[in-house]
Structure 1
Amino acid sequence: MRKLLFSSLLLFASLVAQAQEEYTIEGKVEGVKEGTLVSLFLLDGNVGSTVAMDSIHNGTFYFKRKAGESGLDILSLMCTRQEGFPPMSLKIYATPNAKIKVTGTNTLIYTWEVNSPVKEQQEYNNFTMDSRDLWDEYQRLVIKEKSCTSETECKILEAKQDSISAIISNRELKLMQKLPISSVWMEKLNKLSMSVKYNPKFSYKEETLALYNRLNEEQKATTIGQAITVNLFPPTVVKEGDDMADADLFDLNGKIYHLEDFKGKYMLLDFWSSGCGPCIMALPEMKEIQEQYKNRLTVISISSDTKSRWKEASTQHEMTWPNLSDLKQTAGLYAKYGVRGIPNYVLISPNGQIMQMWTGYGKGSLKFKMRRYLDTPKHEMSIMQRGNTRIVNYPSITSTNTDILEIKQVELTDTATIVHFNAYYTPKYWIQVSPNAKLVDEKGVSYTLKGAIGITPGEHFFLPESGQAEVSLIFEALPLETKVVNFTEGTAKKDWQINGIKVSK
């Protein structure tokens, strides 16, 4: 009997302890459609994961959760893809035992009121309420933009949003000047520093720097402090042709590595995050190329997640190659390699020189890149004369913005200039050559496209199963004294450019 009583007391104590670690979020909103789905996301660094969902009935919703080990959960409340809502969220800070009440009178979720005992929430509310009128108008514009029917209308709405954002930034700056430094204050400074880095029209760089100068060394050394620093004072970004940037990199057991350790083979750096869908989609293909090229290539994944999130995500995926982190999220190697979007890949030569850098993943794209750079034979330029025809085999070039086209041969005759290309791309994917393509000589004279062999300009050309094809473009005749020529489709960002094609000794 005593043993049973003792066990019951232990169970009761455990339940009480667990209840003391829980927090609740109770919502009471008006003007929202019955049955609207509400999602609760837990934020960890740059990643958010869904932890609970509820539907609004009679204007109410309710969540109960056990607090995380840190004692402070940062959450995001969203009504994703719900009619009448902006694609924005309500930020909520929660601690054990907190009873949080959310109220609203419309679908403008970003400015729903959060009544909470959590001090971080109260600090955050100060910023939101200080600009609530502007945030409400901003949300209305965002909702309206979702249904705009013309490019002109969309641009007008975006311009209005930008104008409101600038006024909000000014208000937040003035409020920050009066407030002591806190974690919420640091989050706001980080947002401002990102505007300094990425928005050329941002008008408050000096004011942001003045706020940054209030930080002490300990605050600057935090993860968010380092992120703010690299936003305001960007490091030198390496580019193709440079020696690779390196750093202390840790594996899941805390062992330190450096990229230098992997020299002697090609390296494929994979900058990823567990919250990035294409990053996860690429993992099976990365495993295949790691196995296929294991004697010549080392795949190295570098996570931007927090340490806890990185470890948790790594247990879910079988990564048979080095899986590392500098534990600086986006403030370390990510900044040095200029990573803005992920997945981001960097191919490095065995001697540590950057060969190629690209962003994004599509099925088969990594295999294409490896085949293009690890399996394609290297050729030396040669020139020969056949009667009145000069033939230039694999001419040297100064620069190119594409790895899809390689110039195999240039024929210069009295009547035409024929450029023979090797085309490389993902099997069964299409490429397209513009009918406006031309050659431009060193004097700036243009030579128009007159015809093509193996491809029709302006139409989709699908690569065969091999991912390689030969195509030729026929241009007006270049003068035989021409030494260097450029191939160009135009001046748009995606137009192919191959510059400094040497066609003479």
Structure 2
Amino acid sequence: MNKKNIITILLALLTSTGLAQTKTATVTGYSPALKDGTLVLAGTGTIGSVVDTVKAGHFAYTLPVEELTESFLCLMGEGCPNMSITIYLKPDLAVKVTGNDCLYPLWKVESPLPEQRTEARITEHCRDVLTEYMQKVLANKPWAELEPVEIKLAKKQMDILPALPMDAATIGKLLNASRIVKNIKDFPHMEQLKKIEKFVADRAPKGFEGQLAEIHSYVYPPRVLQVGEEAEDAELVDMQGQKHHLFEAFANGKYVLLDFWGIGCGPCMMSEPEMKEAYEKMKDKLEIVGINQNKISEWQEHEFSKRIVWTNWNNAMQDISRKYCDMGAIPYYILISPDKRIVWKGMGYNPGWFMGMADVLNGVKHKQDNSANFSLLIQKVDANASSTTVSFRYYGHKDYWFRIVKESYLEANGKKYMLTAADGVKLDEDNFSQVKATESTDESLSNLCYTDFTLTFEPFDTIPTTFNFKEGDVEHAFVIRNVSLE
């Protein structure tokens, strides 16, 4: 046998071995109502990607699976609600999903798996509420209108769970129902949820210990730490699987910013360039601790995780988010002082937050607490017998407006000192920042701009040690507290 034949056989063996190790399942779908070009997103766990586009109502994709796996399917196109459908998969399984409309969470899923039959029973039982919810989603109704329907849906799911097999679908739906307790204050069906949690925990087979522990933590949540309280330590894991404690981040006497994030979270990814820019400016004053919410294997393998330049840990034990986060949403940020006091909490991402935070932590002329909205800060104060002039800077996306109202005032000496004039900003009108905040060519950073402006107020009767700025007394007004004049 010559060398060429030996190499050919070895390559064939390697190829066949690789194919044997790559197990997949296939999903095909069809609805005559789907528009061509509708995006098909699918994945397992919490990570998904675009796997196909609809053509003539049809789509198809494969996913790698090693065992029974819960996957999701989401369609993004005209008439499709921003939701997902759960599809259980096993190696070599072919699943067919069909419907006559775009309301795909209600479509028929043809599968031999018993877990999918359980899922179908739940869907059919909740069909009327699911339809109502999807109609509101498609109409872009606000959360105030979606919340009562979501509560109704959770109640209907809980009603049927005790009659179902104790399998992955039943436990998965209980987990979903229990998660909304984190985001809905005074959940009205708490007693029923507690009874079902115990019912399922007593009967669930082995292998679901992690899900049951998570459900229990939502049903019987620990007290969440609030602004002003002392931080608590927690155990985390790094990319190499080594355990760490949160308090390691305080070793150098810096502020610590906790960044709760997840792969597949758009705002989490959008915030990273600005956070990186601000981090470079305040490395001596601030340590960032990224706390990922995904499964460890997903987090370790993802390219985004590998490019993070600050402390990069995973919330493997799930205890830290339950201690610190009021809502089960990401991104979620918490700023902690060097003496381990929580000074700020923020949910979502507003462009400009971290640039404003960097300016204040790096030491602007006047100490201040601008944590109500880090995008706005005070740069200079000139207080004299005739007036008080305050110079501000506002950071924001160039296409996002901000307003300053005529009713703005300074608060000191037990009274209000009203706004009398403005320069560089139009009062009670939309203002857009135009001056670039960085030289970066990154798309998101190139859109980050600032506006410098001054506001003049009535003079102080007596020059105070500190004062507060308030943009009127309306909800969501800008507030900067404890501005020092010393």
Give the conservation status (yes or no) of the 8 Å contact 1:346–1:358.
Answer: yes
> Aligned partner of 1:232: which letter?
V
Which residue does the alignment assign to 2:316?
327
Which residue does the alignment assign to 1:473?
456
1:27/1:409 Cα in 2 relative to 1: closer, same or farther (>3 Å)? closer
1:368 to 353, 356, 365: 356
Q: Determine whether 1:49 maps to 2:49.
A: yes
1:378/1:451 Cα in 2 relative to 1: closer, same or farther (>3 Å)? closer
- Aligned-partner Cα distance in 1 for 2:381–2:481: 15
> Aligned partner of 1:55: which letter?
V
- Aligned-partner Cα distance in 2 for 1:90–1:249: 32
1:24 to 26, 36, 40: 26
- Aligned-partner Cα distance in 2 for 1:38–1:465: 35
* Structure-to-structure mapping, 1:455-466, within 5 angstroms: 455-459=425-429, 460=431, 462=433
Which residue does the alignment assign to 2:447?
none
Q: Determine whether 1:450 maps to 2:420.
A: yes
1:350 to 338, 351, 360: 338
Give the conservation status (yes or no) of the 8 Å contact 1:442–1:484.
Answer: no
Q: Determine whether 1:265 maps to 2:265.
A: no
- Aligned-partner Cα distance in 1 for 2:482–2:308: 42
What is the deviation of 1:458? 2.8
Q: Determine whether 1:280 maps to 2:269.
A: yes
Q: Determine whether 1:253 maps to 2:253.
A: no
- Aligned-partner Cα distance in 2 for 1:280–1:106: 33
- Aligned-partner Cα distance in 2 for 1:283–1:296: 18
Q: Determine whether 1:176 maps to 2:182.
A: no
Which region of structure 1 is more displaced relative to structure 2, 368-377 or 404-413? 404-413
State the Cα RMSD in Å.
4.3
Give the conservation status (yes or no) of the 8 Å contact 2:285–2:361.
Answer: no
Give the conservation status (yes or no) of the 8 Å contact 1:241–1:353.
Answer: yes
- Aligned-partner Cα distance in 2 for 1:41–1:250: 28
What is the deviation of 1:441? 7.3
Which region of structure 1 is more displaced relative to structure 2, 446-455 or 10-19? 10-19
Amino-acid identity (%): 25
Counterpart secondary structure, 1:214: helix
Q: Deviations over 1:177-233 (max 9, x none)?
A: 333543322222222223333234743111011112235499899443343334333
1:294/1:174 Cα in 2 relative to 1: closer, same or farther (>3 Å)? closer
Q: Determine whether 1:434 maps to 2:405.
A: yes
1:127/1:377 Cα in 2 relative to 1: closer, same or farther (>3 Å)? same
Counterpart secondary structure, 1:473: strand
**Equivalenced residues, count:** 462
1:72/1:202 Cα in 2 relative to 1: closer, same or farther (>3 Å)? same
1:424/1:463 Cα in 2 relative to 1: closer, same or farther (>3 Å)? farther
Give the conservation status (yes or no) of the 8 Å contact 2:41–2:48.
Answer: no
- Aligned-partner Cα distance in 2 for 1:188–1:324: 29
Q: Deviations over 1:385-411 (max 9, x none)?
A: xxxxxxxxxxx99x9734524496574
Which residue does the alignment assign to 2:94?
99
What is the deviation of 1:502? 9.6
Give the conservation status (yes or no) of the 8 Å contact 1:407–1:419.
Answer: no
What is the deviation of 1:95? 0.6
1:440/1:289 Cα in 2 relative to 1: closer, same or farther (>3 Å)? closer
What is the deviation of 1:360? 4.3
Counterpart secondary structure, 2:25: strand
What is the deviation of 1:169? 3.0
Which residue does the alignment assign to 2:65?
68
1:458/1:34 Cα in 2 relative to 1: closer, same or farther (>3 Å)? closer
Which residue does the alignment assign to 1:150?
none
Q: Deviations over 1:265-285 (max 9, x none)?
A: 323332222212343344445
Counterpart secondary structure, 2:122: helix
Give the conservation status (yes or no) of the 8 Å contact 1:251–1:323.
Answer: yes
What is the deviation of 1:456? 4.5
- Aligned-partner Cα distance in 1 for 2:305–2:234: 26
1:72/1:342 Cα in 2 relative to 1: closer, same or farther (>3 Å)? same
Which residue does the alignment assign to 2:299?
310
1:240/1:468 Cα in 2 relative to 1: closer, same or farther (>3 Å)? farther
Q: Determine whether 1:139 maps to 2:137.
A: no
- Aligned-partner Cα distance in 1 for 2:360–2:303: 29
Q: Deviations over 1:316-342 (max 9, x none)?
A: 6423332111314xx422222216443
- Aligned-partner Cα distance in 2 for 1:260–1:495: 34
> Aligned partner of 1:168: which letter?
L
Give the conservation status (yes or no) of the 8 Å contact 2:40–2:52.
Answer: yes
What is the deviation of 1:303? 0.7
- Aligned-partner Cα distance in 1 for 2:106–2:350: 38
> Aligned partner of 2:457: which letter?
I
Q: Determine whether 1:198 maps to 2:199.
A: no
In our comparison, the structure showing a higher alpha carbon Rg is 1
TM-score normalised to the size of structure 2?
0.78
Which region of structure 1 is more displaced relative to structure 2, 178-187 or 302-311? 178-187
Give the conservation status (yes or no) of the 8 Å contact 2:365–2:380.
Answer: no
Gaps of 5+ in 1: 147-153, 380-395
Give the conservation status (yes or no) of the 8 Å contact 1:194–1:231.
Answer: yes
Which residue does the alignment assign to 1:77?
73
What is the deviation of 1:464? 6.0
> Aligned partner of 1:24: which letter?
T
* Structure-to-structure mapping, 1:114-133, within 5 angstroms: 114-133=109-128
- Aligned-partner Cα distance in 1 for 2:478–2:304: 42
Which residue does the alignment assign to 2:40?
39
What is the deviation of 1:244? 2.5
What is the deviation of 1:17? 4.4
> Aligned partner of 2:112: which letter?
P
What is the deviation of 1:172? 1.7
TM-score normalised to the size of structure 1?
0.75
2:390 to 388, 399, 421: 421
Counterpart secondary structure, 2:223: coil
- Aligned-partner Cα distance in 2 for 1:108–1:204: 28
- Aligned-partner Cα distance in 2 for 1:319–1:85: 34
